[in-house]
């Protein structure tokens, strides 16, 4: 037994202990921080809130940077994802998020996207040269040049309003971001995972539509020209819900393999969201997608969509009729009687819910009047195309709810010809993809099939709404277009001849 007593530590030994010194310094720093926070809270609570907001922002930036390094993403990709997520989820509210310096609006979303574009171009020397090999990019570039010629003449007269209207052409530059992303190896893996999360969040956000007015009252406001709530805007939410459901059917099995039913459940839930947002064009879009899947020979995907749609209708029937649940949609109650009238309103608006067909024809006539006055190069940017005044805001209607008609009125016959050439060249690329479907990478083909269906849905919307005139619709569209073009050029076919032969043999064996 050891009876030796330990000698007590002296002051010198206490001072020489590095661990104790660090602990004391840490406690002293925490105490000083608490004192500082308390003093700021007493003297000026606003300064305290500002400091807390700055600290939270720095922490979030640090976490985001750490995550980007972990998943091997570059800074420009992180900036692009933030902006695209904001556009897709908050749409009109996010595109109006801005700061005003000396009366000039600095738009946060555009700041993120153009910063990402600049960094992407700097990090990829040959990006622009490769992009110019794509015919759709060349057509968009020609529209951009025509828009710049108009802006030289019209900015002195209309100022920022001319720039605002010209975004329908300027936003096409973000195809370069999509192409830059597709240049990376395994670029599709992260994109599909991110899109799955975005579609799921959009679904949850769409379910809050019955409480949209409360969100408006609680939401902070911002605006480039008019103050608008950041939350509670559902422009394009219904379109994205149908696109998300089709994404789960086309690409979901590559993103989440087990459990297999999860993506089908997410698709069905998004169909229920479409019932709440009550967007007539998506009723038509769902039917057209079914027809296209049959024509493209996608029997399994057609069967899934054909089964899930009645399942969603059955859920609505059980919940509203048998369960007695009352749900308020965008226009009216969520029940089968309403949808019967709402679908009938596609043919005639008399005695049916929704905006009248006659109002759309009057918009067409008014926009064509501008085209007739300037048939070759159009009326340009800055001048409203409609004389209608919105009662809630007092703003003039600037677009005729038809993007192709907007191109015709603002850029004339020359602009419309370039616009048609853009879509024609894009369709040629889709035909090429369809011919390669048996020998190409099946994950890439599944995504490109989804993008083609999304393109069709987007164009359907553009005939009755102005998605190309608003950044929340145009920017994601052009990014996905550029990404799809990059996949077609660099990732669609197997690298080697042996891989192509093996892919053909596998597909032949599966069919047999």
- Mean of pLDDT values over 2-20: 47
For residue 6, is it within any domain?
no
Residue 251, pLDDT score: 94
Torsion of CA 93, 96, 100, 106, to 10 degrees: 130
Residue 67, pLDDT score: 64
Residue pLDDT, tens place only, 38-74: 565 555 555 555 566 566 666 666 666 666 667 678 8
Residue pLDDT, tens place only, 246-303: 999 999 989 988 787 899 999 999 988 888 888 888 888 999 999 999 999 999 999 9
Phi, psi of 505 (to 5 degrees): -65, -40
How many structural domains comprise the chain? Answer: 1
Phi, psi of 222 (to 5 degrees): -155, 170
The C-alpha atoms of residue 298 and residue 417 are separated, in whole angstroms, by 33
Contacts of 271 (CB under 8 A, 6+ apart): 241, 242, 245, 308, 309, 311, 312
Residue pLDDT, tens place only, 204-231: 999 998 888 888 888 888 888 888 888 8
Residue 45, pLDDT score: 57
Q: Is 102 exposed, middle or buried (0-12, 13-18, 19+ CB in 10 A)?
A: exposed
Residue 169, pLDDT score: 95
Residue pLDDT, tens place only, 94-143: 999 988 777 778 899 999 999 999 999 999 888 999 999 999 999 999 99
For residue 11, is it within any domain?
no
User: Rounded mean pLDDT of the chain?
Assistant: 82
Q: Between helices 75-95 and 45-70, what is the axis angle to 10°?
A: 130
What does each C-alpha distance from 226 to 84, 165, 396 come to in angstroms? 22, 15, 12
The C-alpha atoms of residue 463 and residue 403 are separated, in whole angstroms, by 6
Contacts of 8 (CB under 8 A, 6+ apart): none
Encode 228-273 in three state secondary structure. EECCCCCCCHHHHHHHHHHHHHHCHHHHCCCCCHHHHHHHHHHHHH
For residue 176, is it within any domain?
yes
Q: Is 66 exposed, middle or buried (0-12, 13-18, 19+ CB in 10 A)?
A: exposed
Residue pLDDT, tens place only, 301-319: 999 999 988 888 788 878 7
Rg of the chain's alpha carbons, rounded to an integer?
A: 28
DSSP label at residue 99: E
- 3-class DSSP state of 326: coil
- Indicate the helix (H) or strand (E) that contains 153: helix 135-158
The C-alpha atoms of residue 420 and residue 183 are separated, in whole angstroms, by 27
For residue 444, is it within any domain?
yes
Residue 482, pLDDT score: 97
Contacts of 252 (CB under 8 A, 6+ apart): 196, 262, 263, 264, 266, 267
Hey, what are 72's tokens? 């091997």
Handedness of CA 321, 325, 326, 328 (dihedral sign): negative
For residue 24, is it within any domain?
no
For residue 283, is it within any domain?
yes
By residue count, the chain amounts to: 512
- Mean of pLDDT values over 141-157: 94
Exposure string (b/e) for 69-95, b if CB count within 10 Å is 16 or more? eeeebbebbbbbbbbbbbbbbbbbbbb
For residue 215, is it within any domain?
yes
- Mean of pLDDT values over 342-362: 65
Higher pLDDT, 125 or 391: 125
Percent of all residues in the chain with a pLDDT value above 70, rounded to a whole number: 78
Angle (CA) 136-138-141 rounded to 5° is 110
For residue 297, is it within any domain?
yes
Between the two ends of the chain, the Cα-to-Cα distance in Å is: 85
Residue pLDDT, tens place only, 171-204: 999 999 999 999 988 889 999 999 999 999 999 9
Q: Which domain holds residue 190?
A: 65-386+395-506
Q: How many CA atoms lie within 13 A of 214 on its CB side?
A: 4
Tally helices (H) and strands (E) across the chain.
22, 4
Exposure string (b/e) for 347-382, b if CB count within 10 Å is 16 or more? eebeebbbeebeeeeebeebbeebbeeeeeebbbbb
The C-alpha atoms of residue 120 and residue 451 are separated, in whole angstroms, by 23
Exposure string (b/e) for 115-138, b if CB count within 10 Å is 16 or more? ebbebbbeebeebeebbeebbbbe
The C-alpha atoms of residue 88 and residue 385 are separated, in whole angstroms, by 27
């Amino acid at each position: 037994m050891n009876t030796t007593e330990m000698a007590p530590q002296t002051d010198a030994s206490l001072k020489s202990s590095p661990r104790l010194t660090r602990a004391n310094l840490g406690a002293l720093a925490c105490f000083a921080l608490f004192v500082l926070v308390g003093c700021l809270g007493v003297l000026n609570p606003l300064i305290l809130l500002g400091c807390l907001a700055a600290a939270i922002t720095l922490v979030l930036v640090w976490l985001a940077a750490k995550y980007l390094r972990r998943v091997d993403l570059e800074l420009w990709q992180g900036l692009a994802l933030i902006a695209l997520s904001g556009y897709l989820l908050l749409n009109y509210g996010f595109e109006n998020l801005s700061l005003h310096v000396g009366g000039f609006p600095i738009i946060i979303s555009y700041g993120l996207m153009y910063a990402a574009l600049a960094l992407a171009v700097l990090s990829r020397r040959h990006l622009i040269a490769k992009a110019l090999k794509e015919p759709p990019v060349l057509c968009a570039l020609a529209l951009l040049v025509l828009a710049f010629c108009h802006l030289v003449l019209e900015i002195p007269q209309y100022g920022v309003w001319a720039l605002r209207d010209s975004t329908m052409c300027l936003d096409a530059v973000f195809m370069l971001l999509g192409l830059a992303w597709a240049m990376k190896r395994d670029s599709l893996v992260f994109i599909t995972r991110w899109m799955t999360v975005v579609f799921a969040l959009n679904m949850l956000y769409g379910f809050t539509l019955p409480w949209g007015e409360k969100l408006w009252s609680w939401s902070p406001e911002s605006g480039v020209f008019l103050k608008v709530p950041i939350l509670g805007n559902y422009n394009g939410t219904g379109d994205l819900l149908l696109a998300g459901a089709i994404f789960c059917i086309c690409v979901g099995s590559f993103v989440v393999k087990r459990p297999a039913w999860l993506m089908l459940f997410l698709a069905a839930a998004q169909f229920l969201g479409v019932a709440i947002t009550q967007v007539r064009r998506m009723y038509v879009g769902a039917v057209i997608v079914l027809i296209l899947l049959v024509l493209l020979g996608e029997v399994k995907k057609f069967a899934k969509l054909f089964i899930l749609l009645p399942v969603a209708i059955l859920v609505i029937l059980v919940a509203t009729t048998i369960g007695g649940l009352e749900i308020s949609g965008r226009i009216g109650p969520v029940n089968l009687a309403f949808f019967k009238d709402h679908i009938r309103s596609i043919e005639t608006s008399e005695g049916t819910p929704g905006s009248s067909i006659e109002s759309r024809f009057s918009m067409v006539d008014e926009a064509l009047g501008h085209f007739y006055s300037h048939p070759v190069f159009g009326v340009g940017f800055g001048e409203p195309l409609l004389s209608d005044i919105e009662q809630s805001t007092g703003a003039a209607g600037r677009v005729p709810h038809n993007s192709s008609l907007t191109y015709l009125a603002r850029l004339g016959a020359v602009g419309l010809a370039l616009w048609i050439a853009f879509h024609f060249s894009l369709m040629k690329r889709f035909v090429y993809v369809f011919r390669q479907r048996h020998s190409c990478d099946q994950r890439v083909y599944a995504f490109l099939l989804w993008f083609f269906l999304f393109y069709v849905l987007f164009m359907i919307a553009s005939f009755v709404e102005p998605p190309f005139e608003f950044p929340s619709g145009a920017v994601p569209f052009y990014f996905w277009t550029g990404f799809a073009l990059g996949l077609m050029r660099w990732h669609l076919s197997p690298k080697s001849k042996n891989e192509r032969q093996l892919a053909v043999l596998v597909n032949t064996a599966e069919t047999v």
